[in-house]
Structure 1
Amino acid sequence: MAKAVNSWDWEIGNKTSFWNHSLKELWAYRHLLAGLVRRHFLLNYQQTVLGPLWILFQPTLTLVTYLLVFNKLVGISTGSIPPILFYLAGIILWNFFNDSFTGTSSTFKEHAHVFSKVYFPRIIMPVSVICTQLLRFGIQFIMLLCVMSYFSFTGDFSFPFNSGLFALPLVILNVGAFSLGLGLIFSVLTAKYRDMTNMVTLGVRLLMFLTPVIYPLATIPENVRWLVQLNPLTPLFELFRLAMLGEGTVAPNALLYSVGFTLLLLAGAWLLFNKQGDKLIDIV
């Protein structure tokens, strides 16, 4: 008599691994990812007065604040770039990082009830947050192009059309990967230690002042510039402005440092997330 062979598609056990999720498995759940992106996008603007217009209203309100405080009161120079364009470019890129990082850092706290009831690759949740924020960034990027076109029409600005335009995908992907890697690490920490949520909020605020969002890197004194250059986001913001507005301080070694740091961070964070993911369900 032939011996029956048990077979199954997947098994839930008490063992975890650094290599829990393969790319093949993630691809198998691509439809779930698309559904989560749609859900995240719609839930943010349902039952609101402005609806999706919040995507444009938020950076516009921030822009007005920056113009009044940093341009009029403090008097930070933006070089030959119109202040509106300078600040708007920094705002939309920073919003992409900020919203992606804070959204992924609370993955276990916000979705523990789902993780404990149904199986799917846990990494789908933070990736869906990044994709949602990438969609919002795309809409705000179109707004930036419209404002640039207006200033070009009035003669106060001319499109640079430099080789940095080809680096825009690298900048956007690097910022998304950096925020994902950082968010994965803090998603584990915030699940274990509740007070880390406060550290995330405070840390993001402090990090903004070490990132050339409201000032160009060239205006920082040489003796303290190294502190800003330690931030892997610095060359990305400078390259983004160089590509879009024609002015920015970017060194090849700084860009390589940013890309290398992001790759190592994302790889380590991915392994940590896989290893700790199932263990944290009982904690949260």
Structure 2
Amino acid sequence: MAQKQEWLYEIKPKGKLIDLNLVEIWSYRDLLVLFIKRDIVTVYKQTILGPLWFLIQPLFTSVVFTLVFNEVAGIDNGAIPNFLFNLTGLTLWSYFKESLNATSNTFKSNAGLFGKVYFPRFIAPASKVLSGLFKFGIQLLILIIFYVYYAVNGMEVRPSFYLILLPIVILNVILLAMGIGMILSAFTTKYRDLSILIGFGLNLVMYLSAVMYSMEAAQDKLKDYYWAVEWNPLAHIIESYRTIWFDNLEIHWTGIYVGLGLGLMLFFIGLVVFNKTEKTFIDTV
């Protein structure tokens, strides 16, 4: 009697709404590492300044924000240096923006690869978010350098005890960016111009996300329109990120609670949409 053959891998249709097979993803970990290396190396390949763009973008943007919002608009950040205040918000916002952009374009940018070989599709957006941590780490290092510079020069800047919550705040951003991104990825397979709308929309959302001002300043300046910032979960996450960096600011627990709760909910909804879309996207992309 012939023995039943055991297969190393078995490809079969997905029967679950949420099918995050961690065992299978782990078996493809080498591919995940390869994708992460590819994303890091190819972004600024054949450019003059290369990885220096990681530093130039947030620094120049922080200078512009300092001139426009603090010097011209008169937003006061108290004892915190305006440049450092803006740079802090920009580091986290940049990571969110690029993670969401990359995740939302998963099917469109990987259509050729998805149509030829099989691997867990979740690896593609995960690699984008994880490779983004490399850039975020460099920008975080620049933030620390300026942080130390201002502290040495007598400015009242010191980290809060709650800085140990930094990984949780970053996890908030990852969950939120991947959740929204995976939902949007389903629509970009059918409507190509949605990618343009996402980029344009993110530029507008930045001004409602407490990147270059505090929630308190927004309430004071916007008054009747403050609800647009108050109901933006990303504004609360960025505010919580900033308060753990500066001890003279009160810890913003709302951002941490809202970020985790909403992030987990959107992440699971995104997985459902992502799993459903990957079955048929090749017919429409």
TM-score normalized by the length of structure 1: 0.92
Match of 1:258 in 2: 259
Question: 5+ unaligned residues in a row in structure 1: which ranges?
Answer: none
User: In the alignment, which residue of structure 1 is the partner of 2:165?
Assistant: 167
Cα distance change, pair 252–64 in 1 and its aligned pair in 2 (3 A): closer
The total of aligned residue pairs comes to 282
Look up the match of 2:174: 176
| Residues 237-252 of structure 1 aligned to structure 2 (within 5 Å) | 237-248=238-249, 250-252=251-253
Q: Does 1:127 align with 2:122?
A: no
CA-CA distance at 1:214 after TM superposition:
1.1
| Distance in structure 1 (CA, Å) of the matches to 2:94 and 2:72 | 23
When the two chains are superposed, the root-mean-square deviation of aligned CA atoms in Å is 1.9
Q: 1:236–1:14: structure 2 CA closer, same or farther, 3 Å change rule?
A: closer
Instruction: Give per-residue Cα distances to partners, 1:51-98, cap 9 Å, x unaligned.
Output: 111111111121121122212222222222101100000111110000
Structure 2: state its 5+ residue gaps. none
Distance 1:97 1:220 in 2: 21
Deviation for aligned residue 1:250? 4.8
Aligned match of 2:85: 86
Checking the alignment, whether the CA contact within 8 Å between 2:99 and 2:177 is kept in structure 1 is yes
1:131-150 mapped onto 2 (5 Å cutoff): 131-150=130-149
Name the residue aligned to 1:206: 204
Q: Which runs of 4+ in 1 moved over 6 A?
A: none
Residue matched to 2:111:
112
**Structure 2 counterpart of 1:156:** 155
* 1:103 match: 102
Partner of 1:51: 50
1:66 corresponds to which residue? Answer: 65
* Cα deviation, residue 199, structure 1: 2.1
Give, as a single letter, the amino acid of the residue that structure 2 aligns with 1:270: L
Q: CA separation in 2, counterparts of 1:16 and 1:277?
A: 13
Structure 2 CA distance for aligned equivalents of residues 219 and 51 of structure 1: 37
Secondary structure (helix, strand or coil) at the match of 1:220 reads helix
Matched residues, percent identical?
Answer: 38
**Is 1:230 aligned to residue 228 of structure 2?**
no
Kept in 2, the 8 Å contact 1:63–1:88? The answer is: yes
| CA–CA separation in structure 2 for the residues paired with 1:108 and 1:265 | 19
- Is the contact made by 1:235 and 1:250 (CA closer than 8 Å) also made in structure 2? no
Residue type of the alignment partner of 1:91: L
